[in-house]
């Protein structure tokens, strides 16, 4: 066990990076998004990087409201387009630590094409996806991560489509860093985001936090919600990713962990080297 002493930021330090004047926030009681917001702020404060070098980008949705509450340079762009915006920013300003905060609908359903190509290129951005299994902000329609069998606003008799198994999908496209936790795992989320800041390439974290209002899975209060995670979660860093798909079955396991962590030079690093070679140092 590590003997490193972790000094966590005080509540006042956390608040210094929150736009407290904008509270109350829009998230429903018991929603896990706020837990991830705080974890991200803690990671920023502990990153050792000046706060003005951290940038948040999001599209549209409940999860995508994050930049509105966090006092960093933040960009709340159009639905599904956070990735290209973030990638452009990282490419021209490599000194920035660029993090995309997205809902599953925004990231992989509306914005799926941008997402897959950013992974293929190995763009140097951190992507935190809140998987609440649904389009939360618009009232609970099914999307690309809605597990088969779910009853939603648009599948009242049970969802008959398949859904993305995100860790498998992202790993199969070659991302150098892939992890999944649930809203129960505050400390692991902080540690994971701190690791993501160090990755040169596409770093992906899925946080499972089912929408308690619009999905039929978890109409429960916050404590029962956390107990549900405690009962269903299995930590397995070496899991066979073919077996980690999320299911509507209340007895199914939610497999979490740091599934992929390897070195793979990013597009931005290669691009800088190429530009130096092609343009020279300016003297010739």
Ligand X SMILES: Cc1ncc(C[n+]2csc(CCOP(=O)(O)OP(=O)(O)O)c2C)c(N)n1
Question: What is the contact surface with ligand X in residues (CB under 6 A)?
Answer: 60-63, 79, 103-106, 130, 132, 134-138, 143
Contacts of residue 1, defined as CB under 8 A and 6 or more positions apart, other chains included, come to none
- Whole-number minimum distance, CB 129 to ligand X, in Å? 9
Contacts of residue 193, defined as CB under 8 A and 6 or more positions apart, other chains included, come to 39, 40, 43, 99, 126, 128, 205
- Whole-number minimum distance, CB 272 to ligand X, in Å? 32
- Whole-number minimum distance, CB 82 to ligand X, in Å? 10
- Whole-number minimum distance, CB 9 to ligand X, in Å? 25
Q: How far is Cα 229 from Cα 208, in angstroms, rounded to an integer?
A: 9
Nearer to ligand X, 62 or 239 (CB): 62
Nearer to ligand X, 67 or 257 (CB): 67
- Whole-number minimum distance, CB 67 to ligand X, in Å? 13
Nearer to ligand X, 27 or 267 (CB): 27
Contact by Cβ (8 Å): 166, 129? yes
- Whole-number minimum distance, CB 25 to ligand X, in Å? 12
Nearer to ligand X, 141 or 261 (CB): 141
Contact by Cβ (8 Å): 244, 257? no
- Whole-number minimum distance, CB 33 to ligand X, in Å? 7
Nearer to ligand X, 65 or 258 (CB): 65
Token duo for residue 92: 């021209």
Token duo for residue 53: 């070098």
Contact by Cβ (8 Å): 227, 163? no
Instruction: Give, in order, the Cα–Cα distances in Å from 207 to each of 24, 34, 35, 44, 53.
Output: 23, 12, 10, 18, 24
Nearer to ligand X, 201 or 210 (CB): 210
Rounded to the nearest 10 degrees, the angle between the axes of helix 82-92 and helix 267-279 is 40
Q: How far is Cα 53 from Cα 178, in angstroms, rounded to an integer?
A: 23
Nearer to ligand X, 132 or 268 (CB): 132
Torsion angle, alpha carbons of 164, 167, 173, 177, to 10? 150
């Amino acid at each position: 066990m590590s003997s490193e002493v972790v000094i966590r930021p005080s509540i006042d330090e956390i608040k210094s990076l929150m736009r407290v004047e904008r509270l109350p926030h829009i998230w429903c009681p018991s929603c896990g998004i706020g837990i991830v917001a705080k974890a991200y702020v803690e990671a920023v404060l502990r990153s050792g990087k000046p706060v003005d070098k951290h940038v948040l980008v999001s599209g549209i949705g409940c999860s995508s409201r994050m930049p509105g509450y966090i006092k960093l340079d933040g960009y709340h762009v159009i639905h599904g387009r956070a990735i290209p915006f973030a990638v452009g920013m990282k490419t021209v300003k490599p000194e920035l630590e660029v993090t995309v905060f997205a809902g599953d609908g925004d990231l992989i359903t509306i914005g799926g094409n941008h997402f897959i190509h950013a992974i293929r290129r190995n763009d140097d951005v951190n992507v935190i996806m809140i998987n609440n299994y649904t389009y939360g902000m618009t009232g609970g329609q099914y999307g690309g991560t809605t597990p088969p069998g779910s009853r939603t606003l648009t599948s009242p008799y049970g969802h008959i489509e398949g859904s993305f198994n995100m860790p498998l999908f992202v790993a199969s496209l070659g991302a150098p860093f892939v992890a999944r936790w649930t809203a129960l795992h505050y400390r692991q989320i902080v540690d994971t985001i701190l690791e993501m800041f160090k990755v040169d390439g596409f770093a992906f974290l899925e946080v499972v936090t089912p929408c308690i209002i619009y999905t039929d899975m978890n109409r429960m209060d916050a404590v029962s919600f956390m107990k549900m995670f405690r009962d269903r979660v299995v930590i397995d860093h070496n899991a066979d990713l073919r077996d980690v798909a999320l299911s509507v079955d209340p007895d199914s396991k939610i497999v979490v962990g740091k599934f992929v962590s390897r070195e793979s030079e990013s597009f931005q690093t290669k691009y800088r080297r190429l530009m130096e070679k092609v343009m020279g140092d300016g003297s010739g």
